[in-house]
Structure 1
């Protein structure tokens, strides 16, 4: 089996092994059923302002580290992620406006520790992880995140009267990203050729999934 096939298979297997259980996200079903409060939806948007800003800087740093290490495939992957976070930030502004949040409300919001554990760990990976291992760990997590976003968008459309522009933040992450998938395969392939530590990547991916579950569980507790 060639390394290209091995890299793709490893990405798929890791995503499958780390896939969340049904009870790991108690918030998304509330949005789908229309039982999540507007205040909880506002908290989701407010928390995401901090998540997106942190992740954008973390991905940009990983791209810089990858370039310095001569890992061009990883640099391309993380550069694409950083660019995507900038696009998402614009969509998030539209969501926030639709939920009645202005700049003052966004600036005054006090974040929840359970919601910010995930971006804090991404920042740690940006500082300490080998880039190929971060690619594998993050890619596994993104598979679940995209599915959650699709379900949230559907719920917002069906129960909360939010239009396409307001839902664009979630639709952006829910949309297929074949170019990013190809970049992930190339980065993991290069990592396998240079001694990628699969066990370390899996450990990081497991923690990412746990911290994401904390994010959703924290939101689900909001009145």
Structure 2
């Protein structure tokens, strides 16, 4: 039987369309105002994801799921801290981040993660992480490199993006254990694959919203 992670990645690949925002950023074609949009959108997204992971830890407190989701919540808190350096570099302080009006379609991704946190299975969230980690990490690595190379930002300023560019193998191993335990306990494999595909699509929609209207 095909491994479920491979199955999910195959489904995701069928709908892959590239990343227009990363392409534009690498070409130096993203105006500085859009970089402030990026900071504002990520401020909302990461804060929401932190709460979603904490909720999952409360719903699934036993090991290994509780360990995974608590670690992910702590990781989002660190990412939020690092985001402050990027925001400062593009001229946004705490007040500006709090006042920023988010793009609805950009926030569909964290909204869906909240739905998974409330109604989804532990295996669905674990599979979403495992199936999307390479694509997501690659995007963040591209964004970090472009911000430094094209926009002259410091390594500290792009620390948020570098943080998400690589996921420790130990964390992925725990996610795999959560996935296997959830499926062995009767959680729906088809629903987990479906959730992983939607997570990928909505992460793409986040970047597309930031690129909308640019050449």
| TM-score above 0.5 | yes
Contact 2:57–2:66 at 8 Å: present in 1 too? yes
Q: Distance in 1 between matches of 2:106 and 2:27?
A: 22
Match of 1:184?
175
Question: Is the alpha carbon distance of 1:125 and 1:199 closer, same or farther for their aligned partners in structure 2, counting shifts above 3 Å?
Answer: same
Q: 2:26 aligns with which of 25, 29, 32?
A: 32
Contact 1:19–1:144 at 8 Å: present in 2 too? no
Contact 1:20–1:209 at 8 Å: present in 2 too? no
- Look up the SS of the partner of 1:23 in the other structure: coil
Flag structure 2 segments of 5+ consecutive residues without an equivalent. none
Task: Output one character per residue of 1:111-138: Cα deviation in whole Å (capped at 9) or x when no partner.
Answer: 1001100000000100001112221123
Match of 1:160?
151
Q: Does 1:11 align with 2:11?
A: no
Q: Distance in 2 between matches of 1:161 and 1:212?
A: 26
Cα deviation, residue 17, structure 1:
3.1
Q: Distance in 2 between matches of 1:139 and 1:147?
A: 14
Task: Output one character per residue of 1:77-124: Cα deviation in whole Å (capped at 9) or x when no partner.
Answer: 111110100110111000000111112211221010011000000001
Q: Which has the higher helix share?
A: 1
Q: TM-score, normalised by structure 1?
A: 0.89
- Look up the SS of the partner of 1:122 in the other structure: helix
Paired residues for 1:63-142 under 5 Å: 63-67=57-61, 70=62, 72-142=63-133
Q: Distance in 2 between matches of 1:89 and 1:120?
A: 17
Instruction: Give me the CA root mean square deviation.
Output: 1.8
Q: Distance in 1 between matches of 2:7 and 2:16?
A: 19
Match of 1:41?
35
